Amino acid sequence: MATPTRKVQVPSSRGGTRAVSETAPVEFLIYRANSGDYHWELVDDSDERLVQSGSFTSQVEAERGGLHVYEGIRSAPFAPRVTDAPPTAAV
């Protein structure tokens, strides 16, 4: 099970709180939908769905897609931002 980090607030020795990293257990699951397509999902330790993939025609393709996301996410910067429009994909 992979464990990404999340920020939590803890008491600071100087008063107030400070943000620290805490790991949150997550897992990639591959499954076949009733339609016959395959998907991967990222679920947390309470089985809550965090992310669901699009459709894949085979289990191998779904596994490759999940692995590609898993390997890429480790190097992705976390830069929260709020916008009114969805991001556009680079071509």
Per-residue pLDDT of the chain (91 residues; tens, 9 = 90+): 444 544 544 444 455 554 545 667 889 999 999 999 999 999 988 889 999 999 999 999 999 999 999 888 878 887 777 778 776 766 5
Do the domain assignments include residue 88? no
Do the domain assignments include residue 31? yes
Diameter of the chain measured on Cα atoms = 57
Do the domain assignments include residue 40? yes
How many separate domains does the chain show?
A: 1
Q: Which domain covers residue 59, as residue numbers? A: 5-10+27-73
Buried residues in 52-79 as b, exposed as e (16+ CB within 10 A): ebeebeeeeebeebbeeeeeeeeeeeee
Domain harbouring 47, CATH code: 3.30.160.160
Do the domain assignments include residue 78? no
Do the domain assignments include residue 52? yes
- Is residue 7 within 8 Å of 20, Cβ to Cβ? yes
- Amino acid 14 reads R
pLDDT number for residue 31: 94
pLDDT number for residue 91: 57
Whole-model pTM over 0.85:
no
